[in-house]
Amino acid sequence: MKTDIQEKELHPKSGGLVLLLLILGILAGAALFVVGLIFVGWGEEIMFLAVIAGLLCLIACSAMLAGLKIVKPNEARVFTLFGKYYGTVKKSGFYYVNPFVTSFSPTYNAALSAAQAKTKEMQAEGKTAVVSVGVGKGISLKTQTLDNRRQKVNDVLGNPIIIGAVVIWHVENPTLAAFAVENYQEFLNIQTDSTIRNIARLYPYDVFDDDDDDDGVKEKTLRSSAIEIADMMRDELQKRVLPAGLSIEEVRITHLAYAEEIAAAMLQRQQAVAIIAARQKIVDGAVGMVKMAIDRLNEDEVVNLDEERKAAMVSNLLVVLCGNKDAQPIVNSGSIY
């Protein structure tokens, strides 16, 4: 994507002073025209020239009114003159520029084309066509939000997932936005879809074990590393839309879930992993408690246990500590031997 157009920022004259001069010119031209008409009827030939001068002044001043332009805050106006790039005004205010220049805005042109198509469709159906274009001719420099629709993507393991994101962006270079692409908003929308899909394919939705890599770093996943992956999406999207004069401020993942066809199976798998992990923690704790109990008994010489009795004691303690239900105590009034 290349364009030979370099942005040229214009600093036009104040429109208020020019408007006052044009009003005075129109009044003067009207006065010359009226006075000339009156005196031409009396035989004053020189007044005929006054009529011509007044008429030309009226036409010229009226035509120059087209050069008055308003630029709203956080908006830019890109002007073309007879099909060539003329300049860009970024500062808000009331200005006077060349009256033959026209504002160029891709969003306005797209909205106008859509309105014209809608008008023809309504006229073909015999309805009254009243379709307006609610888009100005300027290019907005405000921070905007693109809510990317949810899309189904396969992660790196081949599992179908549903992912959605929101993009915070603004127009950095209005000249490139106007001339580098046909419609910069539609261009951003398509590039966002492609970027999110391509980045999401590189990572698993989740991992089901706590094993680390060889360097001790856990594998990145869409669920646990959402912020890091969103930053990668932002960097990749910025590279894609930079030639169009757009700046990506932030990308946030707003929705992430397994697709419906595997959601139930993955939920069962996650539950099984959680149960196994919990059991492992319980067993580790129980073994430590049994060892501590036997060591304390031996140290304090409370009771001397042979290997067979130790094994039985260990078995009983593990059953009590690892069981899901409360143990039922049994009081032994006789000897354990």
Distance, in Å, from the CA atom of 336 to the CA atom of 83, rounded to the nearest integer, reads 106
Greatest mean pLDDT among 136-140, 244-248, 298-302, 313-317 lies in 244-248
In words, the CATH class of domain 141-258 is alpha beta
Token look-up 């393991």 returns: 157
Distance, in Å, from the CA atom of 229 to the CA atom of 251, rounded to the nearest integer, reads 9
Q: Which of 68-77, 110-119, 266-275 has the lowest mean pLDDT?
A: 110-119
pLDDT for 235 beyond 90: yes
pLDDT band at 135 (very low <50, low <70, confident <90, very high): very low
| CB-based burial label for 288 (10 Å; 0-12, 13-18, 19+) | exposed
pLDDT at 3: 60
Q: Which CA distances in Å does 335 have to 300, 314, 332?
A: 20, 19, 8
Q: Which of 74-83, 151-160, 195-204, 216-225 has the lowest mean pLDDT?
A: 216-225
pLDDT at 291: 74
223 or 274, higher pLDDT? 223
Q: Would you tell me how many other CB atoms lie within 10 Å of the CB of residue 77?
A: 27
Token look-up 């001043």 returns: 61
DSSP assignment string, 109-158: HHHHHHHHHHHHHHHHTT----------SSEE-S-EEEEPPPEEEE-TTS
pLDDT for 293 beyond 60: yes
Note the pLDDT tens digit of each residue in 140-189. Answer: 899 999 988 888 888 888 888 889 999 999 999 999 988 888 888 889 99
Do residues 78 and 54 make contact, with C-beta atoms less than 8 angstroms apart?
no
DSSP assignment string, 181-228: SS-HHHHHHHHHHHHHHHHHTTS-S--SS----TTS-PPP-TTTTHHH
pLDDT band at 1 (very low <50, low <70, confident <90, very high): low
Q: Which of 41-50, 287-296, 328-337 has the lowest mean pLDDT?
A: 328-337
Distance, in Å, from the CA atom of 51 to the CA atom of 257, rounded to the nearest integer, reads 79
129 or 265, higher pLDDT? 265
Note the pLDDT tens digit of each residue in 97-108. Answer: 999 998 888 776
The alpha carbon torsion through 300, 304, 306, 309 (nearest 10 deg) reads -90
Do residues 275 and 178 make contact, with C-beta atoms less than 8 angstroms apart?
no
Global confidence as pTM: 0.68
Q: Which CA distances in Å does 300 have to 6, 296, 303, 315, 335?
A: 89, 6, 8, 22, 20
Q: Where are the domains of the chain?
A: 13-104, 105-137, 141-258, 264-322
Give phi and psi for 177, each to the nearest 5: -60, -30
Note the pLDDT tens digit of each residue in 30-56. Answer: 888 887 777 665 555 666 777 788 889
Structure tokens at 152: 């189904």
64 or 315, higher pLDDT? 64
Do residues 70 and 136 make contact, with C-beta atoms less than 8 angstroms apart?
no
C-alpha closest to that of 266 among 160, 164, 163, 165: 160
pLDDT at 233: 93
* Percent of the chain with pLDDT strictly greater than 90: 20
